[in-house]
Structure 1
């Protein structure tokens, strides 16, 4: 089983920075109208494994569909480097955009989990 590592990521302009402690073993994408346009590669993690390092005051929130996910965007460059929601038990979860990590790993899109958000 892969070991968790510490990663750092940011939006395009660097105003929003975060760290994540994860093994990147649950990579996925989604075909909903929003994710399809953004080309996200997602990795979820519990709140304890995510830290917002800077830029909280530079984030703006977007909700759509069920309004259950806080899509958090940098006000300066418009990049959504992570989102926040909760699992079915009420635990806060974060979803990072792996493409926003510093030195992002190479990802084989055929080998990741595909979420059918378009028909959810």
Structure 2
């Protein structure tokens, strides 16, 4: 007897995240089940892709980040608290013009990494489908959409640490993502000259699953 297979339609929906003490709170919009981008595709790139990724560079490896990249950060990420992250969160920069590796000054959790400009706007969380979001406007911080073009060279970058997304939300399970080969592995350690091509399946040298 043939087994009937249930197909789940990919759906974009909000997921909540926070630091350990709760000072940093955010909402990220993800489409799950995930559709992995081709290994050869820039992520994100000219075509908007969602990605889960591990990087083997010395910073990402030491802080244990699972990068969650969204197609268009100004639409897909809302910071509920604090409303001035570059002033109210701690930051580490490897280079003066590099990424802001932001962290909570109280508990030390790193929820997201950012480069670019942000702005405060009013949104209706209830209308956006955010659980617990009452109807009516709420002031949030987000990446500024005007001129946002993803990429270090363009000065625009957002990566959410997947470990800071609240556990128990339907559809988000990091172990499942690894099992399904949804995690893309970057080589920025560059131990053999130029960076090796990004790939699925297994980490690059000194990387982690």
TM bucket, shorter chain? 0.7 to 0.9
The RMSD of aligned alpha carbons is 2.4
Note if 1:17 corresponds to 2:81: no
Paired residue for 1:64?
A: 94
Normalised TM-score (structure 2): 0.51
Question: Do 1:58 and 1:76's aligned partners in 2 also have CA atoms closer than 8 Å?
Answer: no
Q: Pick the structure with greater CA Rg.
A: 2
Note if 1:93 corresponds to 2:157: yes
Aligned length: 120
Question: Do 1:15 and 1:54's aligned partners in 2 also have CA atoms closer than 8 Å?
Answer: yes
Is the deviation greater in 54-63 or in 35-44?
54-63
Paired residue for 2:16?
A: 8
Gaps in structure 2 of 5+ consecutive residues:
1-8, 35-50, 116-149, 196-209
Paired residue for 1:76?
A: 106
Change (3 A) 1:76 1:115: same
Change (3 A) 1:22 1:89: farther
Gaps in structure 1 of 5+ consecutive residues:
none
Paired residue for 1:49?
A: 76
Normalised TM-score (structure 1): 0.83
The one of the two structures with greater contact order (alpha-carbon pairs below 8 A, sep at least 6) is: 1
Richer in strand (by share) = 1
Work out the CA distance in 2 between the residues paired with 1:32 and 1:67.
17
Change (3 A) 1:65 1:2: farther
Change (3 A) 1:35 1:74: same
Summarize deviations over 1:56-108 as a string: whole Å, max 9, x none.
35312211157421111111111111111351573733211111111252334
Question: Do 1:44 and 1:93's aligned partners in 2 also have CA atoms closer than 8 Å?
Answer: no
